[in-house]
């Protein structure tokens, strides 16, 4: 079972552990996205210390309908 919490901004969140090629893993709080498509966005403060391997880029559509291009990296999430 996955447990989480609801923030003051009324966002559902869960805690995840992200692993890269440089230990230790980083724990991050993730907002639950009902439009989840298999990708997560991470802040640079998490990407850098984990030494994540670049994997090109991906296009994404934001909640306001605008399209953006994001850098992609390889990681394991548990």
Summarize pLDDT for 9-30 with one digit per residue, the tens: 898 999 999 999 888 998 998 8
What value, to the nearest 5°, has the Cα angle with vertex 39 and ends 53 and 67? Answer: 105
pLDDT category, 6, cuts 50, 70, 90?
very high
pLDDT tens per residue across span 33-65: 777 777 888 888 888 889 999 999 999 888 899
Report pLDDT for 76: 92
CB 60 within 8 A of CB 68: yes
Q: Which domain holds residue 69?
A: 4-77
The mean pLDDT of the chain is 88
Report pLDDT for 23: 84
- Our count of domains for the chain comes to 1
């Amino acid at each position: 079972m996955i447990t989480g919490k609801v923030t003051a901004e009324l966002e559902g969140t869960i805690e995840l552990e992200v692993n890269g090629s440089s230990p230790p893993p980083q724990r991050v709080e993730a907002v639950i996205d009902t439009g989840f498509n298999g990708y997560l966005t991470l802040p640079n403060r998490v990407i850098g210390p984990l030494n994540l391997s670049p994997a090109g880029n991906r296009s994404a559509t934001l909640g306001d309908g605008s399209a953006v291009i994001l850098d992609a990296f390889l990681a394991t999430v548990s």
